[in-house]
Amino acid sequence: MIGNSTFLRNLRKFRLVTFDITETLLCFRQAPAIQYAKTAAELGVTDIDQPLLEQCFKDEFKTMAKLYPNYGRYSQLSWYDWWAQLVERIFHCVKPNIDEKKLKQISGTLIKIYRTNECWIHIDGNKELLSRVRQANKHVGVISNSDPSLHKVLKEMEILDKFDFVLTSYEAGYQKPDRSIYDIPLEKYGVKADEALHIGNTYDLDYIGARNAGWSSLLVTRNKIDLERAQSTHAYPSLKDLLLALDTKEIQW
């Protein structure tokens, strides 16, 4: 198969291939603000200002990331408490007089369902790409800025067994684009940086972060500005486009 031989040739220099998860291999079934409002309504908290909820989500997430970086990894907060506090801050922002008992129910429910397939869907082409990379006899892993519950999400979505390892920023103690998180799997598998490839959706964290660590990288994003910033054979609007390129083009690393 010509495409397969080109695919193998494009990946021949790599012994390790890692993936980001959110918006790379999996995505939310619906925007978090919509899911938050839906869950709240199901638990009896209605009349939520949706645009305000969306803004509060963005603002409070930034605040929590600044106050307690890496999902509380360096603080007294557990990752679970980090998410619970985030949800509570968001709903206090939207409905200052919200019933505290209801709020606890909402936060607990949201934390639970976001670790299941209720809130996630597969991005088209993800399973094929993972299978092809595994068939090429590479070490395959995950490098994700997330908390340890990502393992459960991947199991729920039936792709955990596609990976040799899953490295979350919480467990690593470093977040992308810090090169330290990219160094961990190199040491684990005895791989040199120029033998490693990372695939993700974020220009700064994934594409540049990996390259600054000495890796090769590919970007999968619909952001037109980022598509133009990356080298032309390194950036694609979808996994399907990426797979087609690996099958038909000579990628210049």
Domain extent for 163 = 2-28+121-248
108, 176: one domain: no
* Domains held by the chain: number: 2
| Residue-wise burial string across 134-156, b where 16 or more C-beta atoms lie within 10 A, e elsewhere | bebebbbbbbbbbbebbbebbee
| Boundary residue ending a domain (61, 92, 113) | 113
Same-domain check for residues 212 and 101: no
Q: Cβ(229)–Cβ(43) under 8 Å?
A: no
**Measured between alpha carbons, how far is 60 from 92 in angstroms, rounded to an integer?**
10
Instruction: Kindly report, residue by residue over 56-100, the tens digit of the pLDDT.
Output: 999 999 999 999 999 999 999 999 999 999 999 999 999 999 999
SS3 81: helix
Which pLDDT value is given to residue 2?
43
**Sequence-distant (≥ 6) Cβ neighbours of residue 197 within 8 angstroms:** 11, 14, 16, 17, 18, 210, 215, 216, 217, 218
| pLDDT classification of 3: cutoffs 50, 70, 90 | low
In tens, the pLDDT along 229-251 reads 999 999 999 999 999 999 999 99
pLDDT in tens, 26-59: 999 999 999 999 999 999 999 999 999 999 999 9
Residues 110 and 56: their CA atoms lie apart, in Å, by 16
Task: Indicate whether 253 belongs to any domain.
Answer: no
Identify the bridge partners of residue 27 per DSSP, sorted by sequence position.
121
- Tens digit of each residue's pLDDT (9 = 90 or more) over 159-214: 999 999 999 999 999 999 999 999 999 999 999 999 999 999 999 999 999 999 99
Look at residue 1 in the predicted model and tell me its pLDDT: 43
Does residue 100 sit in the same domain as residue 191? no
In a domain, 125, yes or no: yes
Model confidence pLDDT, tens digit, residues 112-171? 999 999 999 999 999 999 999 999 999 999 999 999 999 999 999 999 999 999 999 999
Q: Which of 71, 96, 113 represents a domain boundary (last residue)?
A: 113
128 and 109 in a common domain: no
Using the predicted structure, report yes or no on whether residue 108 has a pLDDT greater than 60. Answer: yes
- Residue 58: CATH number of its domain: 1.10.150.720
Distance CA 91, CA 96 (A): 7
